[in-house]
Amino acid sequence: DAGVTQSPTHLIKTRGQQVTLRCSPKSGHDTVSWYQQALGQGPQFIFQYYEEEERQRGNFPDRFSGHQFPNYSSELNVNALLLGDSALYLCASSRVRGPNTGELFFGEGSRLTVL
């Protein structure tokens, strides 16, 4: 049973560029969330997607956007990259209904470096 998978694992961008990160949830999960983890900090909630809609959003600017596809996979897009966007981006999935609802499983993250 594959867990949460994320791609790419590492990437380097320059200021002003745009980036897309991808996430496939754990089998049987239907909701995906994204977190930003700066070096030495705890993860910060960006947003959550369920039924292909953004359901909840943290304190992040509109430069951060996302999408969920019918197969429950998700993308995180960041436009006009700033140096401060350098971080580990974590994807987490869970199921909204059924057993063990709300138990989050995390991927290994995508390490973004902005130069």
| 58-66 contact pairs (CB < 8 A, 24+) | 60/36, 66/34
If the CB atoms of residues 20 and 50 are measured against another protein, the closer one turns out to be: 50
Q: Which residue ranges make up the site for another protein (CB under 8 A)? A: 31-33, 35, 40-45, 48, 55-56, 58, 88, 90, 92, 94-97, 101-109, 111
Least gap, CB of 16 to another protein (angstroms): 27
Tokens 């002003």 appear where?
A: 16
Least gap, CB of 74 to another protein (angstroms): 12
Contact between 19 and 112 (Cβ < 8 Å): yes
Least gap, CB of 69 to another protein (angstroms): 17
Enumerate helices (H) and strands (E) in the chain, giving the number of each.
0, 11
